[in-house]
């Protein structure tokens, strides 16, 4: 009898395993080292470590950094781009912008497909979709043979105005598949049929370079899981906060580019709602970086303006996540101006922080927390020993440069790291028109609970939530999502010139495509949900806002009012007398996946049983005797007065003075500042 739900988050350093037994309600977690050269190995090692049999697994869902790492490391297959004559250099021209406007010396990264691998064909479609110059079959076949001789593994096809009429692209694809049956081919009219050639071309290129990589990864993982006895679909988390089955993933490979990052945002949303909060900021702090997400009124913010490397956007809808280089392994250093900096450089897994005893010598956040007593010398239930003397030595080198004591330097390192994270929290909240005082902060990841309370105090966030298994919360998020596809279409018209029937006609065609996709995923009709959205903007504006529209709506008035209200909230401005334009249509197709129902717990035992030791911990410029507790033994509904340290397998939680923590019935740790 299959009763186990398995969720896996394949990170750059660790692979996190989250296992939920439906019969008993028992949750178990484990961690294994990730193997970037063989990414599926970490998953298989984790399953073996958990002593889990494939035939007992009811559902297997996971997030992976395979696509992200491939783009960052540029370990990509030989890929070609075919485009319209005269548009070969769009990837270099881009938008002419820079990530840092004032840095004249920093260049944007090179395109994923170099100019020598980009080819032109003579064809033309006008803005209205009329074919002016048809495809020359002989020209394409000759090009296909040339690509074969060059050893091309993947091809991206992006022709001008194909978003309004993909006929020529489809002809090119048919010819290429006939000539090169073993080569991966994707066309922009199927990948992202939207206006703006750079964004469409960039997304199609990224889809093409990742296609073979993701296909090989999925095929290998499927075979390995079959040998372990698992015969069902492997679900893969994508950027939009849903999952795709293994059969669909290669077709939309670019969506997996931020797979692992999205899992943490999903977990944050679930945890906050479980605790009764509809507004929450997720803080996922790991060893190298911190990922920050925001949920408002029960929904996570979605964006179409994202990238792995600046200059090469990915046009698929994605959970909006702000990532900064602040993690447990982030290095503290002195810049040329004599200021203390923290990150984005990281010690990584190898050599790691100095206290890890793997060869690292530069001070990191982990070393500083160890010097301050906030981090103990025993991690992972004693399986990992930290060397406090090496941490002191590393921090002391930096301390001498600033004429600080070792403790003062360690405290300064943490304060700079916290300031960096507060800046990021403001960017995703205050800058977007949200008041952080109306939110809860969900702190997770291996290092999030170490810093969460201090960040909340600085940001005036009233509540911090630390989930029961913070270090593997992102893996848990993989169990909480549905099959999801996002279909978009460029549709530019003045709002007053569009009728509800015209929009219904367009959406109906999109819904047929969505239903076909869900059917291919094995989703039954009764488990399907289709949601319509209209992208709108004031006439003359560049940016648009998506607002929902009911499929049974009798007029567009409600959508128009929703746009004005959202524009007011987002930009502190709206004008109901201004002309409004429809920019595009979006359809979200959901296939419901059964979610686990996590158990509630009753009080048992006493706080005294959870007591480990009293440790001197640095708070408010002095060392304070602080109780240290074992989280697994803290009873439900117990109240803990700060200062306190809570230890567990996958993280350490710091409860500063003037804070109180309570364990709720789901074993979440709810931390609030005393008034």
DSSP category for residue 25: -
Which residue range(s) make up the domain with 13?
4-71+215-259
Q: Are 121 and 140 in contact (CB under 8 A)?
A: yes
Q: Which residue would you say has higher pLDDT here, 262 or 85?
A: 85
Predicted local confidence at residue 180, as pLDDT: 96
637 falls in which pLDDT band (50, 70, 90)? very high
CA 79 to centroid of chain Cα atoms: 26
Average pLDDT, the chain: 90
The helix (run of H) or strand (run of E) holding residue 663 is strand 659-663
Whether residue 499 is found in the same domain as residue 559: yes
Whether residue 183 is found in the same domain as residue 110: yes
Q: Are 191 and 254 in contact (CB under 8 A)?
A: yes
User: Quick one: average pLDDT of 628-655?
Assistant: 92
Predicted local confidence at residue 158, as pLDDT: 97
Whether residue 425 is found in the same domain as residue 300: yes
Q: Among 454, 474, 494, identify where a domain stops.
A: 474
The verdict on residue 504 lying in a domain is: yes
Whether residue 557 is found in the same domain as residue 658: no
Whether residue 444 is found in the same domain as residue 546: no
Q: Which residue would you say has higher pLDDT here, 301 or 110?
A: 110
**Is pLDDT of 107 > 90?**
no
Predicted local confidence at residue 11, as pLDDT: 73
**Is pLDDT of 35 > 80?**
no
The verdict on residue 224 lying in a domain is: yes
CA 556 to centroid of chain Cα atoms: 33
Percent of the chain with pLDDT over 70: 99
Q: Which residue would you say has higher pLDDT here, 341 or 302?
A: 341
Whether residue 441 is found in the same domain as residue 558: no
**What distance in Å separates the CA atoms of residue 89 and residue 198, rounded to the nearest whole number?**
10
Q: Among 178, 213, 248, identify where a domain stops.
A: 213
146 falls in which pLDDT band (50, 70, 90)? very high
Predicted local confidence at residue 380, as pLDDT: 66
Beta-strand pair 440-444/463-466: parallel
Angle of helix 259-274 relative to helix 66-73, nearest 10 degrees? 140
User: Quick one: average pLDDT of 406-434?
Assistant: 93
* 3-class DSSP assignment, residue 118: strand
**What distance in Å separates the CA atoms of residue 635 and residue 664, rounded to the nearest whole number?**
9
The verdict on residue 236 lying in a domain is: yes
**What distance in Å separates the CA atoms of residue 530 and residue 486, rounded to the nearest whole number?**
10
409-438 burial by CB neighbour count: b if 16+ within 10 A, else e?
Answer: bbbbbbebbbebbbebbeebbeeeebebee
Close Cβ partners of 104 (under 8 Å, ≥ 6 residues apart): none
Total H helices, total E strands in the chain: 16, 37
Angle of helix 406-428 relative to helix 388-402, nearest 10 degrees? 80
The verdict on residue 153 lying in a domain is: yes
Look up the CATH number of the domain holding residue 197: 3.40.50
Measured CA distances, 276 to 38, 239, 268, 279, 631 (Å): 41, 26, 12, 9, 22
**What distance in Å separates the CA atoms of residue 459 and residue 421, rounded to the nearest whole number?**
10
Q: 5 pairs with which residues across the strands? A: 20, 59
Q: 209 pairs with which residues across the strands? A: none
Q: 16 pairs with which residues across the strands? A: 9, 31
The verdict on residue 321 lying in a domain is: no
User: Quick one: average pLDDT of 225-247?
Assistant: 87
**Is pLDDT of 2 > 70?**
no
The verdict on residue 602 lying in a domain is: no
Whether residue 98 is found in the same domain as residue 203: yes
Whether residue 233 is found in the same domain as residue 303: no
Q: Among 591, 626, 649, identify where a domain stops.
A: 591
Whether residue 166 is found in the same domain as residue 103: yes
Predicted local confidence at residue 382, as pLDDT: 64
- Tens-digit pLDDT profile for residues 597-614: 777 888 887 899 999 999
Q: Which residue would you say has higher pLDDT here, 649 or 496?
A: 496
12 falls in which pLDDT band (50, 70, 90)? low
Q: Are 661 and 639 in contact (CB under 8 A)?
A: yes
Whether residue 101 is found in the same domain as residue 166: yes
The verdict on residue 326 lying in a domain is: no
Beta-strand pair 234-237/57-64: parallel
**Is pLDDT of 552 > 90?**
no
**Is pLDDT of 1 > 60?**
no
**Is pLDDT of 222 > 80?**
yes
Look up the CATH number of the domain holding residue 223: 3.30.420.40
**What distance in Å separates the CA atoms of residue 238 and residue 582, rounded to the nearest whole number?**
27
Q: Which residue would you say has higher pLDDT here, 392 or 308?
A: 392
What is the torsional sign of CA 422, 286, 207, 165? negative
Whether residue 52 is found in the same domain as residue 171: no
The verdict on residue 396 lying in a domain is: no
Q: Where are the strands (E) in 354-482, listed by range?
A: 378-379, 384-385, 440-444, 463-466
Close Cβ partners of 59 (under 8 Å, ≥ 6 residues apart): 5, 6, 232, 235, 479, 593, 594
Whether residue 497 is found in the same domain as residue 586: yes
> What is the domain count for the chain?
5
- Tens-digit pLDDT profile for residues 476-511: 888 888 888 888 888 999 999 999 999 999 999 999
CA 16 to centroid of chain Cα atoms: 15
Predicted local confidence at residue 563, as pLDDT: 93
| Six token digits for residue 457 | 């105090």
pTM: 0.83
Close Cβ partners of 128 (under 8 Å, ≥ 6 residues apart): 164
The helix (run of H) or strand (run of E) holding residue 610 is helix 607-610
């Amino acid at each position: 009898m299959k009763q186990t739900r398995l969720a896996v988050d394949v990170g750059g350093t660790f692979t996190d395993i989250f296992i939920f037994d439906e019969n008993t309600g028992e949750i178990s977690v484990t961690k294994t080292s990730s193997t970037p050269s063989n990414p599926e190995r970490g998953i298989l090692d984790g399953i073996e470590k958990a002593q889990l049999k494939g035939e007992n697994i009811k559902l297997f869902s996971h997030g992976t950094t395979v696509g992200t790492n491939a783009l960052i490391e540029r370990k990509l297959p030989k890929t070609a781009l075919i485009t319209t004559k005269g548009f070969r250099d769009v990837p270099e021209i881009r938008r002419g912008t820079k990530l840092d406007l004032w840095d004249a010396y920093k260049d944007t990264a090179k395109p994923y497909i170099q100019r020598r691998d980009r080819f032109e064909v003579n064809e033309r479609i006008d803005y209205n979709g009329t074919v002016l110059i048809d495809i020359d079959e002989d020209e394409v076949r000759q090009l296909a043979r040339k690509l074969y001789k060059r050893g091309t593994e993947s091809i991206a096809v992006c022709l001008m105005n194909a978003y309004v009429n993909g006929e020529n692209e489809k002809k090119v694809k048919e010819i290429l598949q006939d000539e090169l049956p073993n080569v991966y081919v994707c066309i922009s009219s199927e990948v992202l049929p939207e206006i703006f050639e750079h964004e469409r071309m960039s997304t199609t290129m990224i889809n093409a370079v990742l296609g073979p990589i993701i296909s090989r990864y999925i095929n290998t993982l499927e075979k390995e899981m079959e040998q372990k006895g698992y015969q069902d679909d492997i679900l893969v988390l994508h950027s939009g906060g849903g999952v795709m089955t293994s059969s669909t993933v290669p077709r939309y490979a670019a969506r997996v580019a931020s797979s692992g990052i999205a899992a943490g945002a999903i977990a944050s949303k679930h945890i906050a709602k479980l605790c009764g909060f509809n507004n929450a900021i997720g803080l996922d702090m790991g060893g190298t970086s911190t990922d920050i997400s925001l949920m408002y009124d029960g929904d996570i913010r979605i964006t179409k303006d994202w990238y792995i490397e600046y200059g090469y956007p990915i046009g698929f809808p994605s959970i909006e996540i702000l990532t900064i280089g602040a993690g447990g392994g982030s290095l503290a250093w002195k810049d040329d101006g004599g200021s203390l900096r923290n990150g984005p450089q990281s010690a990584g897994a190898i050599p790691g922080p100095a206290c890890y005893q793997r060869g690292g010598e530069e001070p990191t956040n982990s070393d500083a927390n160890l010097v301050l007593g906030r981090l103990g010398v025993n991690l992972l239930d004693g399986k990992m020993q930290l060397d406090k003397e090496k941490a002191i030595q590393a921090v002391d080198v930096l301390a001498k440069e600033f004429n600080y004591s070792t403790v003062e330097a360690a405290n300064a390192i943490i304060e700079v790291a916290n300031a960096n994270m507060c800046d990021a929290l403001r960017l995703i909240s205050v800058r977007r028109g949200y008041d952080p005082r109306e939110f809860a902060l969900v702190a997770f990841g291996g290092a999030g609970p170490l810093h969460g309370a201090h960040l909340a105090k600085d940001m005036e966030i009233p509540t911090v939530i630390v989930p029961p298994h913070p270090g593997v919360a992102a893996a848990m998020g993989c169990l909480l999502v549905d099959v999801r596809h996002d279909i978009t279409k460029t549709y530019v018209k003045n709002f007053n010139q569009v009728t509800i029937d015209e929009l219904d006609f367009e959406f109906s065609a999109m819904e047929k495509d969505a239903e076909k996709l869900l059917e291919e995923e094995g989703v039954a009709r009764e488990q399907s949900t289709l949601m319509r959205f209209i992208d709108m903007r004031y006439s003359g504006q560049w940016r648009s806002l998506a607002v929902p529209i009911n499929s049974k709506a009798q007029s567009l008035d409600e959508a128009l009012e929703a746009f004005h209200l959202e524009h007011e909230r987002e930009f502190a401005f709206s004008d109901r007398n201004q002309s409004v334009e429809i920019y595009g249509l979006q359809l979200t197709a959901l296939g419901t996946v059964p979610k686990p129902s996590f158990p509630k717990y009753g009080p048992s035992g006493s706080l005294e049983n959870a007591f480990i030791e009293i440790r001197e911990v640095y708070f408010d410029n002095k060392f304070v005797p602080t109780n240290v507790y074992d989280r697994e033994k803290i009873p439900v509904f117990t109240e803990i007065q700060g200062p306190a340290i809570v230890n567990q397998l996958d993280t350490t939680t710091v409860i500063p003075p003037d804070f109180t923590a309570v364990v709720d019935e789901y074993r979440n740790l709810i931390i609030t500042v005393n008034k």
